[in-house]
């Protein structure tokens, strides 16, 4: 299962020594619901190698604003606490894992 992040714990997540993948989503978003099981699968498969997280944009104000989240789903990739890649819109598991693999 992906780790739930919010405005309060996001900085802590970025301090991880692992590559971090964050899915920005909302309960009312159809494409977000479609990729949710994929994100959870990736979280399980990459446990110990990468930190896979979910951030509900309806429950957070600061983090989505800070990273310019204007469309959801948006998946951001961080390495060493820095934003290094992003994926906007629903995509296949291969797209997400390909970006993660490139950062590991």
Tell me the DSSP string of 42-55.
HHHHTTTTEEEEEE
Distance CA 69, CA 49 (A): 26
Q: Is the dihedral of CA 2, 8, 14, 15 positive or negative?
A: negative
β 19-25/50-56 pair status? parallel
Catalytic machinery residues? 29, 32
pTM of the model: 0.95
Total H helices, total E strands in the chain: 4, 5
pLDDT, one tens digit per residue, over 8-50 is: 999 999 999 999 999 999 999 999 999 999 999 999 999 999 9
Mean pLDDT taken over the chain: 96
Burial 45-72 (b: 16+ CB within 10 A, else e): ebeeebbbbbbbbeebeebbeebebeeb
């Amino acid at each position: 299962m992906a780790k739930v992040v919010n405005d309060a714990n996001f900085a802590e997540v970025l301090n991880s020594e692992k590559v971090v993948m964050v899915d920005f989503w909302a309960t009312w978003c159809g494409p977000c619901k479609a990729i949710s099981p994929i994100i959870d699968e990736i979280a399980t498969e990459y446990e110990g190698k990468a930190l896979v997280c979910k951030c509900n944009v309806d429950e957070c104000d600061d983090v989505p604003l800070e990273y310019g989240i204007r469309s959801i789903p948006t998946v951001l990739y961080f390495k060493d606490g820095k934003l290094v890649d992003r994926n906007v819109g629903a995509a296949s598991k291969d797209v997400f894992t390909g970006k993660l693999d490139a950062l590991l």
